[in-house]
Amino acid sequence: MAVQVTENTPTVALGPAAALSCRECGQRFPLGPIFACQECFGPLEVAYDLPSGDPEGLRKQIEAGPNNIWRYAPLLPVPTDVADKPNLNPGFTKLVKADNLARELGVTGGLYVKDDSGNPTHSFKDRVVAIAVEAARAFGFTTLSCSSTGNLAGAVGAAARRAGFQSCVFIPHDLEAGKVVMAAVYGGDLVGIEGNYDDVNRFCSELIGDPLGEGWGFVNVNLRPYYGEGSKTLAYEICEQLGWRLPDQIVIPIASGSQLTKIDKGLKELIALGLVEDKPYKIFGAQAEGCSPVSAAFKAGHDVVRPQKPNTIAKSLAIGNPADGPYVLDIARRTGGAVDDVNDEQVVDAIKLLARTEGIFAETAGGVTVGVTKKLIEDGVLDPSLTTVVLNTGDGLKTLDAVAPTSGPTATIRPNLDAFRAAGLAR
């Protein structure tokens, strides 16, 4: 660990964040750049002293805040003056009422797409990185880092420069050219690792423990407890944009599973704070068949997740050994939801379905959630008479290869009316 947290570690000011607590044994630790319980090695998460007693005042404070995640600063591990600091300020993306898609899928209770392609680097990663940036600032780190298969590398590279950090991000050396360009263009260091994503991850863990990593904040390793909290803002925004109402059903993609667990955490906080009515909601998880360890465990009735070797076009979800898998299973079962998966062909079909109904061009992960939503409706698992929210976490421009083979010109003609008439495209 580059920074040791002890009894003498000075208190950092991260708003309502009070401590880190172990999700397994409940042991608490002072706020610091640690991520595993020193007692039981369980994952740590942020524990809060949340504002209470005046939901109406809190709601008004939020509504008067900026059009980004900092409107929820009273519920996040960030300094109270966070909105004044240099940050990419992601969030408050569109919640699109998807009436055309609803008609195609037979949803009558209201269908919404939470479209995170509107974030600064066009994926939900901007949310989690924004929080990690503020934690890194509080802990005195000077370099931001991460292991990534693409989206995160771009998000960290962009956020670091804006916020005044150096950056050095690590990727497998054989990523698609487009993702490499996006990760490199911000000018920080970009290191290709000769190996796969697991090799990159292992290398980063080594680096954190070495003096070479002194002063480095790895957003998804030693800053992970803070980073993860960024996903709570999806829950807050969805409810606020529904008029401070819980949706009945939410469909969420699963990579590590962190996003799904944090959205559940966010919904529970809103209930506890009195910002939404306390009523049941169901959480559904979506995976690609080629990397479906959580879905497989759900279907088999297991509590633990057996790792898989990923083989899917949904690369941003291709984590074969998802750290939060067991928590996802628990949430899906506890809320009456489910976890399911679709194959790559269904992913492509779902990307195109969303594009041709709502004009939203999603990345493969968005195809996974829309595809699984369709499947769950057809199987009678998801109730079409209830208010349903589907997440699109990324942008189709980053995964063009998925749809390129089946998305081309209807016709190619010479520039005259006879040629156009012959092409049979007149209405």
- Binders in 114-143 for a copy of itself, by CB under 8 A: 118, 120-122, 142-143
**Least CB distance to a copy of itself at residue 213 (A):** 9
**Least CB distance to a copy of itself at residue 229 (A):** 21
Q: Does 39 bind a copy of itself (CB under 8 A)?
A: no
**Least CB distance to a copy of itself at residue 184 (A):** 4
Choosing from 195, 274, 320, 326, the residue that interacts with a copy of itself (CB under 8 A) is 195
**Least CB distance to a copy of itself at residue 123 (A):** 11
Q: Which stretch, 53-61, 85-93, 325-333, 336-344, contacts a copy of itself (CB under 8 A)?
A: 85-93
Choosing from 132, 180, 219, 291, the residue that interacts with a copy of itself (CB under 8 A) is 180
The SS3 assignment for 215 reads: coil
Token digits of residue 47: 């524990």
Q: Does 193 bind a copy of itself (CB under 8 A)?
A: yes
CB count within 10 Å of CB 59 equals 16
Tell me, residue by residue from 336 to 375, as one string, x for binding to a copy of itself by CB under 8 A and - for no binding. Answer: ---------------xx--xxxxxxx--------------
Sheet holding 282-288, edge to edge: 95-97, 111-115, 388-392, 249-253, 282-288, 339-342
The rounded distance, in Å, linking the Cα atoms of 260 and 282 is: 12
Token digits of residue 341: 């998966």
Residue ranges in 252-281 that form contacts with a copy of itself under rule CB under 8 A: none
Helices 258-272 and 325-335, axial angle in degrees (round to 10)? 50
Residue ranges in 208-227 that form contacts with a copy of itself under rule CB under 8 A: 210, 212, 214-216
Which residues lie below 8 Å from residue 400, measured CB to CB, with a gap of 6+?
178
**Alpha helix (H) residue ranges in 175-272:** 177-184, 197-208, 224-229, 232-241, 258-272
The rounded distance, in Å, linking the Cα atoms of 421 and 425 is: 7
The SS3 assignment for 218 reads: strand
Q: Does 420 bind a copy of itself (CB under 8 A)?
A: yes
Choosing from 173, 268, 302, 375, the residue that interacts with a copy of itself (CB under 8 A) is 173
Q: Does 421 bind a copy of itself (CB under 8 A)?
A: yes
